[in-house]
Amino acid sequence: MPDDVAALVELCLAGDQAAMAELVRRYQGQVFALCYRMLGDRQDAEDMAQETFVRVLRSLERWDNTRHFEPWLLAIAGNRCRTLLATRKRRPDTSPIVADVPARGYDAEDQALRSLSEEVSLGLADIRAEYRQAFLMFHQHEMSYGDIAASLDCPLGTVKTWIHRARRELIDHLRLRGIVEGTSHAV
With cut-offs at 50, 70 and 90, classify the pLDDT of residue 51. very high
Confidence of residue 93 (pLDDT cuts 50, 70, 90): very low
Euclidean distance between CA atoms 155 and 167, whole angstroms? 19
pLDDT of residue 160 exceeding 50, the answer is yes
pLDDT of residue 38: 87
Q: Name the segment(s) of the chain with CATH classification 1.10.10.10.
A: 92-187
The residue that leads in pLDDT, 64 or 103, is 64
Task: Tally the residues of the chain.
Answer: 187
pLDDT over 80 at 94, yes or no: no
Q: Select the more confidently predicted residue: 99 or 61.
A: 61
Please check the confidence at residue 144 and state whether its pLDDT lies above 80: yes
Residue 37 confidence (pLDDT): 87
Q: What is the mean pLDDT of residues 59-77?
A: 90
Q: Which range among 1-10, 16-25, 76-85 shows the weakest confidence by mean pLDDT?
A: 1-10
SS3 state of residue 101? coil
Residue 60: per-residue pLDDT = 93
Fold adopted by 92-187: Arc Repressor Mutant, subunit A (1.10.10)
Q: What is the DSSP string of 21-51?
A: HHHHHHHHHHHHHHHHHHH--HHHHHHHHHH
Q: In which residue ranges of the chain is CATH 1.10.1740.10 found?
A: 1-91
| Domain 1-91 top-level CATH class | mainly alpha
Interacting residues of 128 by C-beta distance below 8 A, sequence separation 6+: 165
- pLDDT higher than 70, residue 185: no
Is residue 96's pLDDT more than 60? no
Average pLDDT, the chain: 83
pLDDT interval class at 57 (50, 70, 90) = very high
**DSSP code of residue 66:** T
Residue 76 CA to residue 31 CA, distance in Å, equals 9
